[in-house]
Amino acid sequence: MSIGVLTSGGDAPGMNAAIRAVTKVAASKSLTVWGIRDGFDGLIDGNLQPLTRQIGKKGALSPIPEVEDSGGHGGTMLGSARSERFYTRESRIVAAEVFKDYSLQGLIVIGGNGSMAGAHVLAAEHDIPVVGIPASIDNDIGLTREALGVDTALNTIVDACDKISDTARSHHRAFIVEVMGRNSGYLAMAAAVATAADAVLLPEQGSGPDEIVDSVVRELKRSFEGARDKARVLILKAEGVSIATETLVDRVRAELGPESVFEVRATILGHLVRGGNPSFRDRLLAGRFAFTAVSALLEGHTDVMTGWNLQGLGTQTSDSWIKLFPITAVLEETEALLDGSSAVTMDRVRRMEAIQGVLAI
């Protein structure tokens, strides 16, 4: 029996660890593993490479060295893409033919919510057994407490903010630090708790540019003047909020005026946050997701995603942390996460405010 594995969407630290674990677990169960290059594009183009090889006299299967070597590295050894072509029915027919030509019996899709939507369509239209593994630094995938890459990205952000705080305190400066996350404010919010930031700008709050400028100016004055007299002010800004960082800083400076005694600076962390070797937790999670995903395919599950979810939802697996969720339910909860209506988002904002007094704008 053979299975395929692909990584799709924005890369995330932990994808290679998941590829390695999928290949190891599958090889130990005598499954041949094919790596599909550059996401769903590779399935359309028939761009596949074997990730297992036969070793020893008895021909037992083992991962190829590249798989073993890359497990601890960031990025994805298979390459990734946001496939435009996969949106067309014609391309998906071609992809399904490639799947059959290679005699694959299952597909593991490692990626974000767009990738899960792609996996679902493949299962629904062509009856292809698919299991998704959530991987995206944005943490905007429903029904999993965390996706692969989030822990590493947060460690990178916290490290960067600590460094920025060192220099900010020395000069009594305010810093607005922008972090990735597309339409999700999770990274900004979680990092704000860990760095004891003063405020966090979240797309889920739905604030307009004027409101954001006013709130930031108020927060700066409150922090630097009067009783608080802080040495630094740190404001984390999610990239999805309604005002560009450069514009925000210009407008805040203009409001404060030339006489202002404190300076406002900005740093955009950008793709720095997406790279780097996966943390311990991302590697651990990758292994547990991968084991559950391969087992799920062998048990006949399809159109499901593995989720780290400790609540009573989902289908129980042999791993106490990991459950299986229908991808349709995942996509529904994803929408609620992004429009701020999910109970999970509301609870996260409340806890952040309660723990560190971070102002959510």
Q: Which is nearer to ligand F6P, 105 or 242 (CB)?
A: 242
Selected from 181, 185, 203, 287, the binder of ligand F6P by CB under 6 A is: 181
Burial of 177 (0-12, 13-18, 19+ CB in 10 A): buried
Please list the active-site residues: 138
- Give yes or no for residue 92 binding ligand F6P (CB under 6 A): no
Q: Which is nearer to ligand F6P, 161 or 180 (CB)?
A: 180
CA-nearest of 102, 27, 101, 11 to 64 is: 27
Question: Total residues contacting ligand F6P (rule CB under 6 A)?
Answer: 10
Rounded Cα distance between 40 and 18, Å, is: 17
CA-nearest of 233, 192, 203, 210 to 358 is: 192
- Give yes or no for residue 204 binding ligand F6P (CB under 6 A): no
Tell me the C-alpha to C-alpha distance, in Å, between residue 171 and each of 8, 175, 249. Answer: 43, 11, 18
SS3 of residue 225 by DSSP: coil
Selected from 3, 7, 10, 41, the binder of ligand F6P by CB under 6 A is: 10
Stretch in the footprint of ligand F6P (CB under 6 A) among 51-59, 63-71, 178-186, 201-209: 178-186
Q: How far is the CB of 198 from ligand F6P (least distance, A)?
A: 23
Burial of 214 (0-12, 13-18, 19+ CB in 10 A): middle
Rounded Cα distance between 196 and 230, Å, is: 13
- Give yes or no for residue 309 binding ligand F6P (CB under 6 A): no
User: Which phi-psi region, left, alpha or beta, contains residue 276 (left: φ > 0; alpha: ψ -120 to 50)?
Assistant: left
- Give yes or no for residue 180 binding ligand F6P (CB under 6 A): yes
- DSSP letter for each residue of 12-37: -TTHHHHHHHHHHHHHHTT-EEEEES
Helices (H), the chain: 15-28, 40-45, 65-70, 89-101, 113-126, 150-171, 186-194, 209-224, 245-256, 280-298, 327-338, 343-356
Q: How far is the CB of 21 from ligand F6P (least distance, A)?
A: 22
CA-nearest of 76, 70, 73, 67 to 9 is: 76
- Give yes or no for residue 7 binding ligand F6P (CB under 6 A): no
Q: Which is nearer to ligand F6P, 8 or 342 (CB)?
A: 8
Q: How far is the CB of 179 from ligand F6P (least distance, A)?
A: 8
- Give yes or no for residue 138 binding ligand F6P (CB under 6 A): yes
- Give yes or no for residue 137 binding ligand F6P (CB under 6 A): yes
Q: Which is nearer to ligand F6P, 75 or 181 (CB)?
A: 181
What's the token pair of residue 174?
Answer: 């305010």
Q: Which is nearer to ligand F6P, 178 or 333 (CB)?
A: 178
Q: Which is nearer to ligand F6P, 182 or 301 (CB)?
A: 182
Q: How far is the CB of 216 from ligand F6P (least distance, A)?
A: 22
Q: How far is the CB of 241 from ligand F6P (least distance, A)?
A: 12
- Give yes or no for residue 39 binding ligand F6P (CB under 6 A): no
List contacts with ligand F6P (CB under 6 A). Answer: 10, 112, 136-138, 180-182, 239, 274
